[in-house]
Amino acid sequence: MGARWQKRLYTRYGPWAVVTGASSGIGREIALKLAEAGLNLVLSARSQEVLEQMATDLTTRYSIEVRVVRLDLALETGVETLENATQNLDVGLLIASAGFGTSGSFLNSQLEQEIEMLNVNCRALLELSWYFGRRFAKRGGGGMVLMSSIVGFQGMPFAAHYAATKAYVQTLAEALYVELAPMGVDVLASAPAPTNSGFASRAGMRMGMAMNPADVAQPTLNALGRKSTILPGRLSKLLIYSLSTLPRWARVRIMGGVMDGMTKHQRRDNNLGLGKG
């Protein structure tokens, strides 16, 4: 079984893959799977040291070529840096895994941080999808994985803007799946449930149930080229399907109640004069 999915990935999307957000979480796990399948990798993230260690390990273990591109996709020059670093490579796969979230009261949020999230989750994703989509269409084939989330299927109080950015990712991927298919380009939205990937700590959330990045990586790669959206793992399916028969307004309130519980400590800390500055 393993040999079949590895051969399929390499044949359809090799010899090079680009992975953003590769230093941790889901991006890191997908990079490991791609290396296992024999694809050469361009790994990008903000952490140069972590990426270089990954490159050394993967090169030694799988005898592949790995290039490291340190960049911050919140900056306007981030995608251009990645374009320049890959223009001479035969890239057939983009894993757009870079992203982060915020949570808590919208009116208490820091506007600068929200704009940074918008730049990473949406603007940079738009640029990457446009640039590599054109490259893959000209090449005659390729694939793109855009990391969505189950929070993107309805509004989510106490993570309002983060959910909105993931709704952007989800709808973009759904449309590109249809639009680019005649050009031989596969597009997939991967929409996992909350995942233990460092996301919660940065977003200021305390999660109960959560998935592991490894539970997301393999189902996502298996679904690429076969469907437009994947809900990887049992938790993702449980949370989405259990709400699917409810009207949208009810889903918003239920998801808001869940997020309220995961961010209640923020309001307590603010009342104590903590969590500021």
Active site residue 166: yes
Helices (H), the chain: 2-13, 25-36, 48-62, 78-86, 111-118, 124-139, 160-180, 199-203, 213-223, 233-243, 248-271
Active-site entry in 166, 168, 264, 276: 166
Active-site entry in 13, 33, 62, 162: 162
Q: 172-185 as b/e, with b when 16 or more CB fall inside 10 Å? A: bbbebbeebeeeeb
Active site residue 227: no
3-state helix/strand/coil string of 11-60:
HHHCCEEEEECCCCHHHHHHHHHHHHCCCEEEEEECCHHHHHHHHHHHHH
C-alpha span between 115 and 119 (Å, rounded): 6
C-alpha span between 165 and 100 (Å, rounded): 10
Virtual torsion, Cα 62, 64, 68, 74, nearest 10 deg: -80
* Contact criterion met (CB below 8 Å) for 18 and 12: no
Which residues have a catalytic role annotated?
Answer: 162, 166
